[in-house]
Amino acid sequence: MTIFVPHKQNLTLFEKHRGTIETAINAVHQRIYYAAFPEMPSPAVYGENAEADQKQKFEAQLGNQFSRLKQNSDRWQVSSEQSPYTLKPLGISYPVFNDAAEYVKCSQAAWDEWKQTDAETRAGILVESLDRLKSSFYELAFATMHTTGQSYMMSFQASGPHAGDRALEAIALGYQELKRFPAKFTWEKPAGKVTLKLEKYITSVPKGVSLAIGCATFPTWNSVPGIYASLITGNPVISKPHPKAVYPIALVIAHIQEVLAENGFSPNLALLAVDTDEKLLTKELAENPNVKIIDFTGSSSFGHYIENLPGKCTFTEKAGVNSVIIDSVANLQAMAQNVAFSACLYSGQMCTAPQNIFVPKDGITVGSEKISFEDVKKAIVEAFEGIINHPKMGPAVLAALQSEMTHKRVMEANLLGGKVLLETKPLPNSEFPEARTAGPVIIELPASDHKIYARELFGPIVFIVATENTEESVKLAASIAQEHGSISCGAYTTDENKMKMIAERMAYAGTPVSFNLTGGIYVNQHAGFSDFHVTGGNPAGNACFTDPEFVLKRFTRSSVRINLN
């Protein structure tokens, strides 16, 4: 017999995507390079007219109702979205419910059949939704660009292929954990003259309504892992985007709803809950007793509030203060260019962007030569200038500032203290003359000015900190990570023992370290299927994309034993 009969089982989509799921599970466990979604906006891959068609779609969407959602709401709300490139409101309206309780009620009502279907049915539907999302990657890029201020290329890659890979990774790990133990087995225990015999069943029990609170800088990349992890493990999801970055995740949710509905499940299993700057819905949703799981990306203070809500299972990514430790290098310019690019990329608005560059005050060795602190500084500042002043690369790398607050922070950075090595300056963008931009600021500080640099100054603000020696650099980087959180750490050393020391110290401070990056690979980039993103081991967040905990905490296991004697 069968206990726990799957409801609305549908193996067609699972069979269609079985190869992808199996490859993804293997990649996650081998952690070798794998990309289910090619990262370049190539016509050969994504369609000859895809870019032009979707650009048109994007333009037509501006100022209009986003009517692609299938959730049953008849009230329309114009969002607070505004393009950092044009400073104009997007003017898109989304269907909304009356209050948080209505979203939660609607989510719960949709839950039953999803809860009781099997891992295959869920995985098939979810991978299909990603497959469909591919057909919106260009529109997603424009939507991301004009909400976050990212460059077009980053918008395409981060919101499309890279987010898709991260979502697939969550599905793969969730699927593997759901299938980890046998669903049915026989247990026989010898007991003297008789053998006790039980038929046993194990099933997974999803925890309940899941809330995904998005951020304004990476509206899909940071949200889809939690959304897909909750869905694969059987939980309905309410996606509550940042009021300033709704459109990108609305596209994701629309595709999920579409595939759910086509396969006989309620589209309300993935709801979009749009609020505005004037009337935020987040706390009301988060505090609803029927919301059991919360994924959050955003500020440390709000993250702390989320983590301390009683009775919730939370996954947070908050702020990080990231360090670069420079001990010794093979090539000064190569290091300086790599660090400068990492800090300039999207004007330092990546959670992995470096902020503090620790350099020994007596200088470093470059190959076999000793180079002074002044020369290291100079090389770094020049590398920044090289990017900023490059007429084509500059605007593409630095892109735009997502918020007015970040702009203000940069403009006032020269008042922070220390010696300003590079002033902010206007960054003209020929395509978007109104773009909200500001060139990066570099400030030199002594190690003793801890209170200035040991906190996150989100945006293109970089400190070069003179330390006694590399020992002190590491000590500072580790203590900042442990006290304030870090998500990345770059380190340059040609000394194997120092490499080991830095690796250990930073690992125990919950921070991944990238050594000696030069050329086309940067500390900011955490690759799906291979790199864990945020460890959960320091205050930067309590969760990790995607370790097994990230999916396991979303369900429990329950079992049945039937006497066969």
Residue numbers 542-561 binding a second copy by CB under 8 A: 544, 547-549, 552-553, 556-561
Minimum distance between the CB of residue 203 and a second copy, rounded to whole angstroms? 5
Binders in 61-120 for a second copy, by CB under 8 A: 115-116
Return the number of the residue (467 or 486) whose C-beta is nearest a second copy: 486
Q: How far apart are the C-alpha atoms of 314 and 316, rounded to whole Å?
A: 6
Question: Binder to a second copy among 43, 63, 91, 182 (CB under 8 A)?
Answer: 182
Binders in 212-251 for a second copy, by CB under 8 A: none
Contact 83, 146 (CB under 8 A): yes
The interface region with a second copy, picked from 8-16, 120-128, 437-445, 516-524 by CB under 8 A, is 516-524
Q: How far apart are the C-alpha atoms of 481 and 320, rounded to whole Å?
A: 8
Return the number of the residue (273 or 478) whose C-beta is nearest a second copy: 478
Verify binding: residue 3, a second copy, rule CB under 8 A: yes
* Token duo for residue 242: 């940042």
The interface region with a second copy, picked from 91-99, 162-170, 410-418, 540-548 by CB under 8 A, is 540-548
Buried b / exposed e along 501-530 (16+ C-beta atoms within 10 A): bbeebbeebbbbbbbbbbeeebbbbbbbbe
Binders in 395-424 for a second copy, by CB under 8 A: none
Q: How many CB atoms lie within 10 A of CB 209?
A: 27
Question: Binder to a second copy among 134, 162, 166, 207 (CB under 8 A)?
Answer: 207
Phi and psi at residue 541, in whole multiples of 5°? Answer: 170, 160
Question: Binder to a second copy among 45, 78, 198, 396 (CB under 8 A)?
Answer: 198
Q: Which of 130, 125, 214, 197 shows the shortest CA–CA distance to 164? A: 130
Q: How far apart are the C-alpha atoms of 237 and 126, rounded to whole Å?
A: 13
Minimum distance between the CB of residue 308 and a second copy, rounded to whole angstroms? 6
Minimum distance between the CB of residue 1 and a second copy, rounded to whole angstroms? 6
Verify binding: residue 27, a second copy, rule CB under 8 A: no
Site string for a second copy, 134-173 (x = CB under 8 A): ----------------------------------------
Return the number of the residue (246 or 487) whose C-beta is nearest a second copy: 487
The interface region with a second copy, picked from 46-54, 407-415, 432-440, 518-526 by CB under 8 A, is 518-526
Return the number of the residue (57 or 312) whose C-beta is nearest a second copy: 312
Place of tokens 């959730």: 71
Q: What is the DSSP string of 508-535?
A: TTT--EEES--TT--TT---TTT--B--
Binders in 478-497 for a second copy, by CB under 8 A: 496
What are the distances in angstroms from CA 343 to CA 252, 381, 393? 29, 11, 14
Q: How far apart are the C-alpha atoms of 180 and 458, rounded to whole Å?
A: 41
Q: Is the dihedral of CA 267, 270, 273, 274 positive or negative?
A: negative
* Residue length of the chain: 565
Verify binding: residue 517, a second copy, rule CB under 8 A: yes
Return the number of the residue (243 or 303) whose C-beta is nearest a second copy: 303
Question: Binder to a second copy among 16, 75, 88, 180 (CB under 8 A)?
Answer: 180
Q: Which of 322, 286, 269 shows the shortest CA–CA distance to 488? A: 322
Size, binding site for a second copy by CB under 8 A: 74
Q: Is the dihedral of CA 103, 94, 159, 81 positive or negative?
A: negative
* Sequence-distant contacts of 425-433: CB under 8 A, at least 24 apart: 425/388, 427/388, 427/394, 427/395, 427/398, 428/395, 429/85, 429/395, 429/400, 430/395, 431/85, 431/395, 432/85, 432/86, 432/400
Q: Which of 362, 378, 361, 359 shows the shortest CA–CA distance to 370? A: 362
Minimum distance between the CB of residue 188 and a second copy, rounded to whole angstroms? 6
Buried b / exposed e along 56-86 (16+ C-beta atoms within 10 A): eebeebbeeebeebbbebeeebebbbbbbbb
Minimum distance between the CB of residue 513 and a second copy, rounded to whole angstroms? 5
Minimum distance between the CB of residue 127 and a second copy, rounded to whole angstroms? 23
Question: Binder to a second copy among 68, 179, 200, 475 (CB under 8 A)?
Answer: 200
Minimum distance between the CB of residue 100 and a second copy, rounded to whole angstroms? 22
**CA torsion angle 3 6 11 13 (round to 10):** -150
* Token duo for residue 136: 């919106």
Return the number of the residue (150 or 488) whose C-beta is nearest a second copy: 488
**CA torsion angle 208 211 212 214 (round to 10):** 180
Minimum distance between the CB of residue 35 and a second copy, rounded to whole angstroms? 8
Verify binding: residue 519, a second copy, rule CB under 8 A: yes
Question: Binder to a second copy among 8, 16, 29, 370 (CB under 8 A)?
Answer: 29
Question: Binder to a second copy among 87, 185, 412, 428 (CB under 8 A)?
Answer: 185
Minimum distance between the CB of residue 441 and a second copy, rounded to whole angstroms? 28
Contact 291, 209 (CB under 8 A): yes
Question: Binder to a second copy among 51, 169, 177, 444 (CB under 8 A)?
Answer: 177
Return the number of the residue (210 or 347) whose C-beta is nearest a second copy: 210
Minimum distance between the CB of residue 418 and a second copy, rounded to whole angstroms? 30
Q: How far apart are the C-alpha atoms of 236 and 217, rounded to whole Å?
A: 25
Minimum distance between the CB of residue 497 and a second copy, rounded to whole angstroms? 10
Site string for a second copy, 294-333 (x = CB under 8 A): --------------x-x-----------------------
CA angle 105, 228, 115 (to 5 degrees): 50
Minimum distance between the CB of residue 218 and a second copy, rounded to whole angstroms? 20
The interface region with a second copy, picked from 26-34, 146-154, 164-172, 352-360 by CB under 8 A, is 26-34
Verify binding: residue 470, a second copy, rule CB under 8 A: no
Return the number of the residue (82 or 322) whose C-beta is nearest a second copy: 322
* Strands 356-360, 323-326: pairing kind: parallel
According to DSSP, the residues that pair with 445 across neighbouring strands are: 465
Verify binding: residue 518, a second copy, rule CB under 8 A: yes
Q: How many CB atoms lie within 10 A of CB 258?
A: 17
